[in-house]
């Protein structure tokens, strides 16, 4: 089991310079096109002139390309605006605890885990892995979907080192595992950013998750 690293932030470019650049390029290309069309008309064979419908077709083709480019620019601008609006709407998420399937950062404070054991299980275990994918702890937990606290201490009371930990819930029936799932955790939201058109939550400890993967929010 591999603990996913935090996503690297990507700065979103502004749509305005792209739109202006596209308009400038289209204008320049259109002027070039007209010059070429004029030269073509001036140098055509007077005994076999080009059909006027061909000129109209060329103009229509160029106009279609121009409209397609402008439409793409408009869609890009709308996407940026929608992302900005979405981030503004999620601004109050900062400071709250989000529930998601992600590693939890342990710094001495307990981590809240949200298990979801199988209904047919007669035994449920919590398995803890460190950032190197090593199993560091395993113990029985109640057969319940109620949140539990992982204290981050070993059997002798010694705390585990600070760092990222991943949690699995293993449900067994008659001694046979019937369901193994990565457990959700609750972690404080520290920042919201946009990456590749998606809203990303930066959680405590530098863990990043998609906003769409958050299943619950609660006061921290």
Ordered by start, the domain boundaries in the chain are 15-91
Looking at every residue in the chain, the average pLDDT score rounds to: 79
Lowest mean pLDDT among 64-73, 172-181, 206-215: 64-73
Q: Model confidence over 36-57: pLDDT tens digits?
A: 767 776 777 666 666 666 766 7
Is the pLDDT score of 156 beyond 60? yes
Q: What is the mean pLDDT of residues 147-170?
A: 95
Q: What is the pLDDT of residue 1?
A: 57
Q: What is the mean pLDDT of residues 110-121?
A: 95
Around Cβ 184, how many Cβ atoms within 10 Å?
24
- Residues 6+ away with beta carbon under 8 Å from 136: 128, 129, 130, 160, 165
Q: Model confidence over 184-203: pLDDT tens digits?
A: 999 999 998 888 878 889 99
Distance in angstroms (rounded) separating the CA atoms of residues 83 and 193: 9
Residue 13 confidence class, pLDDT cut points 50, 70, 90: very low
Q: Model confidence over 134-149: pLDDT tens digits?
A: 999 999 999 999 999 9
- What percent of the chain is modeled with pLDDT above 90? 49
Better-predicted residue by pLDDT, 35 or 107: 107
Q: What is the pLDDT of residue 199?
A: 86
168 in Cβ contact with 182 (< 8 Å): yes
The residue assigned the tokens 């990565």 is: 182
Q: What is the pLDDT of residue 11?
A: 41
Better-predicted residue by pLDDT, 82 or 180: 180
Contacts within 8 Å (CB) and 24+ apart, 63-68 = 66/26, 66/30
DSSP 149: E
Question: Whole-model pTM?
Answer: 0.60
Is the pLDDT score of 124 beyond 70? yes
Q: Model confidence over 63-99: pLDDT tens digits?
A: 666 676 666 666 555 454 544 455 567 778 888 999 9
Q: What is the mean pLDDT of residues 198-215?
A: 91
205 in Cβ contact with 105 (< 8 Å): yes
């Amino acid at each position: 089991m591999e603990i996913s690293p935090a996503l690297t932030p990507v700065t979103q470019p502004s749509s305005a310079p792209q739109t202006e650049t596209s308009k400038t390029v289209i204008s320049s290309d259109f002027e070039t096109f007209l010059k070429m069309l004029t030269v073509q008309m001036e140098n055509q064979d007077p005994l076999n002139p080009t059909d006027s419908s061909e000129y109209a077709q060329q103009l229509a083709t160029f106009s279609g390309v121009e409209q397609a480019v402008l439409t793409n620019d408009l869609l890009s601008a709308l996407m940026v605006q929608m992302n900005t609006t979405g981030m503004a709407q999620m601004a109050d998420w900062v400071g709250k605890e989000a529930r998601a399937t992600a590693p939890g950062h342990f710094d001495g404070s307990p981590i809240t885990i949200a298990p979801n054991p199988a209904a047919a299980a007669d035994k449920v275990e919590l398995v803890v892995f460190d950032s190197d994918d090593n199993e560091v702890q395993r113990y029985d937990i109640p057969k319940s979907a109620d949140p539990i606290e992982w204290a981050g201490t070993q059997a002798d009371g010694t705390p585990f080192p600070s760092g990222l930990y991943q949690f699995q819930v293993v449900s067994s029936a008659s001694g046979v595992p019937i369901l193994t799932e990565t457990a959700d955790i609750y972690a404080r939201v520290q920042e919201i950013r946009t990456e590749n058109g998606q809203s990303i939550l930066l959680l405590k400890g530098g863990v990043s998750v998609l906003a769409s993967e958050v299943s619950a929010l609660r006061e921290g």
